[in-house]
Amino acid sequence: MTEERKDKYDFATYRKDTIAFEVRGDKNIAVREAQDIAGLTVGVGAGTNQEQILLRWDQQNKSAGLGPTRRRPTT
């Protein structure tokens, strides 16, 4: 969202975009921030906002010297 787009479009201010991670019941994994996915394989839909966040988090982790996150595209 940019100031220019705000002038052209009426954005909903009440909407909150949240993301959830599903983990197998026998795994003890909680995802709250980028470092929580370092070294894991994560399924994500190609071209989604979630994929963009995953790529950004993966880059942050690599820059911090943490293991890469492997993406598994979902259909």
Task: For 17-67, write each residue's pLDDT tens digit.
Answer: 777 888 888 888 888 899 999 999 998 888 888 889 899 999 999 999 999
Confidence tier at 11 by pLDDT (50, 70, 90):
confident
Q: What is the pLDDT of residue 39?
A: 93
Domain that holds residue 42: 3-74
Domain count, the chain: 1
Question: Quick check: helix, strand or coil at residue 1?
Answer: coil
Distance of alpha carbon 56 from alpha carbon 53, whole angstroms: 5
Extract the tokens encoding 43: 């399924």
Q: What is the pLDDT of residue 71?
A: 84
Q: What is the pLDDT of residue 66?
A: 96
Distance of alpha carbon 9 from alpha carbon 1, whole angstroms: 10
Distance of alpha carbon 62 from alpha carbon 38, whole angstroms: 8
Residue with tokens 């890469």: 68
φ and ψ at 22, to 5 degrees? -105, 135
